[in-house]
């Protein structure tokens, strides 16, 4: 399948900071980052293939590697050589694939509420069930399942509403295809020790889907990585505590820029 340039929101000036959303979300999850960090960087938040305003052509059968190649095609269109790349959860899987496939274009990585490991057999079976669920019944039952685990201990009504609004806007065919793409992603753990750019793992302290201890262990095994914990936030830390998340990004970029 051919890589395609993606829809994106762009704001700010300075070196490009590229945001990649999680599953089953879209670029709108980065609203507070794009607004809050525009004085620090040129913030570009993409809608992955089939999400938000991006074309859905080729979403069926898409892979995490193809999503990474779509990022490269988007940078080509923007005329941008190198980026600081921030991916949340599935966006982190894409960021790690992008490093494998396009590493010369990566100035640094922010890995938010994500992990390097591939799916276990049990998780793979869960992906098949998710694909069937959304195909048969749409996103509503998936959101019902996710709302208790995606957010921290006491999310505000506003954050719950925003997460639900974004998730329920995702086309079922996209969610089904992406569940299978995540099922089939490769293990990125062997890459961790090889990554030679500055890395910050940013993780909600209350993340129930991917407990923060995993991110800490991953950061410890890398050449130049640090971990920043986001208080009062679960898996969707940029939405749940945007001020702390944005401070973490500023600290990361200050480190990168020396």
Contacts with ligand MLT, residue ranges (CB under 6 A): 22-23, 89-90, 182, 209, 235
SS3 254: helix
Q: How far is the CB of 125 from ligand MLT (least distance, A)?
A: 13
Nearer to ligand MLT by Cβ, of 3 and 91: the residue is 91
Nearer to ligand MLT by Cβ, of 25 and 83: the residue is 25
Q: How far is the CB of 89 from ligand MLT (least distance, A)?
A: 3
Nearer to ligand MLT by Cβ, of 22 and 155: the residue is 22
Q: How far is the CB of 110 from ligand MLT (least distance, A)?
A: 15
Q: How far is the CB of 158 from ligand MLT (least distance, A)?
A: 19
Q: How far is the CB of 88 from ligand MLT (least distance, A)?
A: 7
**Which tokens in the block code for residue 12?**
């700010």
**Which tokens in the block code for residue 173?**
């065919």
Nearer to ligand MLT by Cβ, of 51 and 105: the residue is 51
Helix 90-102 and helix 64-78, axial crossing angle in degrees, nearest 10: 70
Q: Are 75 and 9 in contact (CB under 8 A)?
A: no
Give the Cβ contact number of residue 189 at 10 Å: 14
Nearer to ligand MLT by Cβ, of 177 and 253: the residue is 177
SS3 165: helix
Q: How far apart are the first and last CA of the chain?
A: 39
Quote the distance between the C-alpha of residue 128 and its chain's center. Answer: 21
């Amino acid at each position: 399948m051919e890589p395609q340039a993606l829809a994106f929101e762009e704001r700010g000036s300075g070196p490009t900071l590229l945001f990649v959303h999680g599953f089953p979300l879209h670029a709108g999850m980065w609203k507070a980052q794009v607004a809050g960090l525009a004085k620090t960087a040129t913030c570009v938040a993409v809608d992955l293939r089939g999400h938000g305003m991006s074309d859905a052509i080729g979403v069926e059968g898409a892979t995490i590697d193809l999503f990474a190649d779509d990022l490269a095609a988007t940078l080509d269109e923007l005329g941008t050589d190198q980026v600081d790349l921030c991916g949340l959860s599935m966006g982190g899987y894409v960021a790690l694939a992008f490093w494998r496939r396009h590493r010369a274009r990566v100035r640094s990585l922010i890995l938010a509420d994500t992990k390097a490991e591939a799916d276990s057999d049990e998780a793979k079976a869960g992906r098949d069930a998710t694909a069937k669920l959304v195909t048969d019944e749409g996103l509503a039952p998936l959101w019902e399942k996710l709302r208790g685990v995606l957010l921290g201990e006491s999310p505000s009504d506003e954050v719950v509403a925003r997460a639900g609004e974004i998730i329920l806007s995702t086309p079922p065919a996209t969610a089904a295809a992406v569940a299978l793409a995540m099922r089939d992603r490769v293990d990125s753990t062997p890459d961790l020790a090889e990554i030679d750019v500055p890395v910050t793992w940013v993780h909600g302290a209350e993340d129930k889907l991917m407990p923060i201890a995993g991110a800490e262990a991953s950061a410890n095994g890398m050449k130049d990585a640090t971990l920043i914990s986001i208080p009062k936030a679960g898996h969707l830390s940029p939405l749940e505590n945007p001020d702390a998340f944005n401070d973490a990004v500023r600290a990361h970029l200050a480190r990168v820029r020396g």
